Every structure is written in C-alpha cells, then in structure tokens.
Structure 1
Amino acid sequence: MKNTALLLLFTATIFSVNAQKNSKNEGPKVFGIDTTKAFTIDSTIKTLYKTISGEKGEARNWGQFKFLFYKDAKLIPSGRNNERVYKARYLSADDYVKNSGKWLVQNGFIEKEIKREVQQFGNLAHVFSTYECYNSKTDEKPFMRGINSIQLMFDGSRWWILNIYWTNENKFNPIPRAYLPKS
C-alpha cells in the first residue's frame, strides 16, 4: 500500500512538472504528441498545417500528424492526368507519410492557410481551407495554391479528421474569389 501511494505521488509530481513545462505553448505531451491540439476545429486545422510544414532538412512530427486522423481516414489528392481527366487517389495517413514525407523534408515545404470557411452541425464539421505552398518561409511567391476540403467529427472529447480531399489551382481551374482573402 505504501509503495502504491509513493508511486502515485511520484507520477503526480512528474505530470505536474511536465504540465508546467508545457503550459507556455503546448499541452501535455504523450510520446511527442500534444494531445490538446485536437480539442477545437481551429487547433486541429492549425496543427495539420504545422505538422506537414518545414524548411528543407527539417524533420516533421509524423506522430502528431497521424494523431489528428480518425481510424481509416483518407487523404485524397486529386488533379488532372495526362488525358486532362480529373482523378483521385486514396491514401491513409501512413500512406501519405510513406509517399510524401521524404520529399517534404528533402525539398522544404511550407503550406499556409490563407482563408477558411467552416460549416458545422453538432459533431459534424466541414472546412474549406485555401492554401499556398512554398519551399521556404523566405520565398516571396507560392509555387502552388489550392483548396483542402476537410471533414471532421467531434467524438465528445476531441475533433478527428475523417477526410481531406484537395485539388491544386491551375489555369483551367483558378481559385474563385469567394475562397481567397479579401484584398
């Protein structure tokens, strides 16, 4: 009994110290994952962009990235093929990391949200998020822009990304003014 009480006291002390250390900018971390980053729609979307973004050679926190996604969630890039027909690919969070993770680190990839529209009904949310992509924070012009269509679910304690379906802007498919920041 005495050992159990000491163990509980030790655990509470460690948690308290870690909570104080993390209270400046982040919540408590479990295996490098900030579990507070999915409490709101806003924090979930901001964490999504933050986890895939980084300068050339900068490691990404793929554990934090995967933490955002519900079991069997899909990432769905779409675009025109050589025959100019729109196609979509279905990826899991693991597939995305395996297929894109190395490229993002080798080339640098900064994705910035420039406009967001949120529609919510109870535990269901849909976010239309317009983005710009850069190789570095110092780049003046984006090399790519597009829109992420993000579906989320609130399970009573946190938000989960169910799907991200996106397409990039091109000369045949420019981003409508309604989805760009007001100038």
Structure 2
Amino acid sequence: MKTWFSILLIGFIALNVQAQNNTKQEKEAAEFKIDSLSVTTLDGTIRSLYNVISGSKGMERNWKQFKYLFKPNAKLIPSGKNPEGDFMVRYLKPEDYIKSSGKWLVENGFFEKEIHRQTDVFGNIAQVFSTYESFKSEADTKPFMRGINSIQLLYDGARWWIINIYWQQETEEHPIPKKYLP
C-alpha cells in the first residue's frame, strides 16, 4: 500500500511541477507576444525557427520568439573556412547570433527555406538534418546560398527546445549529397 501511495504522490508532484512550468511559459508567451504553440511539436519548432529569421528587407524580426525556441545555454555553431583556408567553428548564444546577424538580416532581406529534412528521434531527444536554401527576397527563384542545419532538440514533456544548431554552407568542394536533397 505504501508503494502505491508513494507512486501516486510522486506522480502528483511531477504533474504539479509541469503545470507550474506550463503556467510560467504561458505568462511569458502572453507578455512577449510569443507563439507558445509553435513549440509543442517538432515540426512546429523547426518551422518557427525558419519563420522567425526570415523576412523582407527592413522587416524587424521577433527576437523574443527566436530566443523562446532555445533552451538556456543552447548554442548556434556556424562552420566554414576562414580567410587562411582553415576550417573553423564559432560558438554563439542566441543573443550573440542576434548581435552578429540581426542587423544584416534586416538590411538585406533574408528568407531561409527548408527543402528537405531527415529526422531521428529517441525518447525525448531528436537530431534533425535540415537542408535549406537562402534567398534575399521571397520573389527570388535562385538561392544565393544552400546548406545543412544539424539541429539537436529536447522534448520536456510539454514542448520542444532547441539545444544546438550546427551548420555548414554548401561549397564547390562540399556539395550537398543527393540523400539530403528533395
């Protein structure tokens, strides 16, 4: 009898903690005009990521929504060759990405569109290889850049969090393999 009572008590505590977390998220979403439903599914989270960084020239991005996608301590990790030809990576917090790229996105216009996705899920973790094409205008038909985002996510029982985004642009030396194209 004590065992069943303990199990019920632990379950009640877990549900109460989850309800408190959901209430906090709902308050934050309402306060900052964040689409909190966008993170309840894996597909919605990825779609929200692409939507929030995309926009016409002169259009401000919803950086609060952008930050809402990421678990604290998450990283954005661009990779590529430096001017000396060495392959490098940079480790950015979401705030660092906003500081380094936010102005450019608004001044130039930027639309990143997912064209293919390969997803692996185990328990509460997911690894998504998301092939993208980038355009400066929604009317453009030829991308100025393509690449692959490797996105790691965590499901906490209520929503998906982005843990890391690690990406590489396509180059002549490294074209996107056919298995990652539509």
TM-score range, shorter chain: 0.7 to 0.9
Q: What are the within-5 Å matches in structure 2 for residues 162-177 of structure 1?
A: 162-177=163-178
Find the residue that maps to 1:54 and give its secondary structure.
coil
Structure 2 CA distance for aligned equivalents of residues 83 and 101 of structure 1: 26
Decide which structure has greater helix share: 2
Q: Which runs of 5+ in 1 are unaligned?
A: 1-27
Show CA shifts across 1:118-156 (max 9, x none): 000010000000000000001110000000000000111
Q: Match of 2:94, as an amino acid?
A: A
Taking structure 1 as the reference length, what is the TM-score of the superposition?
A: 0.82
Report what 1:93 is aligned to: 94
Q: What are the within-5 Å matches in structure 2 for residues 56-135 of structure 1?
A: 56-135=57-136
Q: Match of 2:137, as an amino acid?
A: S
Q: Match of 1:159, as an amino acid?
A: W
Q: Which runs of 5+ in 2 are unaligned?
A: 1-27
Pair 1:141-2:147 in alignment: no
Structure 2 CA distance for aligned equivalents of residues 29 and 124 of structure 1: 24
Structure 1 CA distance for aligned equivalents of residues 127 and 121 of structure 2: 6
**Range 82-91 or range 97-106, more displaced:** 82-91
User: Which ranges of 4 or more aligned residues in structure 1 deviate by more than 3 Å?
Assistant: none
Instruction: Give me the identity figure in percent.
Output: 60
Structure 2 CA distance for aligned equivalents of residues 128 and 122 of structure 1: 18
